[in-house]
Amino acid sequence: MTLEEMTRVTLDHWYTNYPKDFRKLGKEEALKQAQACARLTRREMDALKLISPSMTDGEAWAESRGLFCLTPPPKIETDEDDDW
């Protein structure tokens, strides 16, 4: 699975399951965060494949996608969130 595909899966997951949080992020920030999640997932997949060389890319994706890609979108703090 490519980084672009992982990014798309992450964005689709956020859009479908967390629409309010997704809108709060905005398109640009959501894309940036989803790309970061995809890169972290790719690193995890590569690490899993080093430990278990017989593991396929699909198996590594299935094992690691829940760590970063299929999670709620990150909360971005704004000035409005300050309790001061």
Specify the pLDDT at position 82.
Answer: 54
Residue 34 has pLDDT above 60, yes or no: yes
Closest CA to 71 of 47, 45, 37: 37
What's the CA gap between 71 and 83, in Å, rounded? Answer: 26
Residue listed under structure tokens 């479908």: 16
- Rounded mean pLDDT, 2-15: 97
- Rounded mean pLDDT, 52-77: 93
Percent of the chain with pLDDT over 70: 92
pTM: 0.87
Residue boundaries of the structural domains of the chain: 3-71
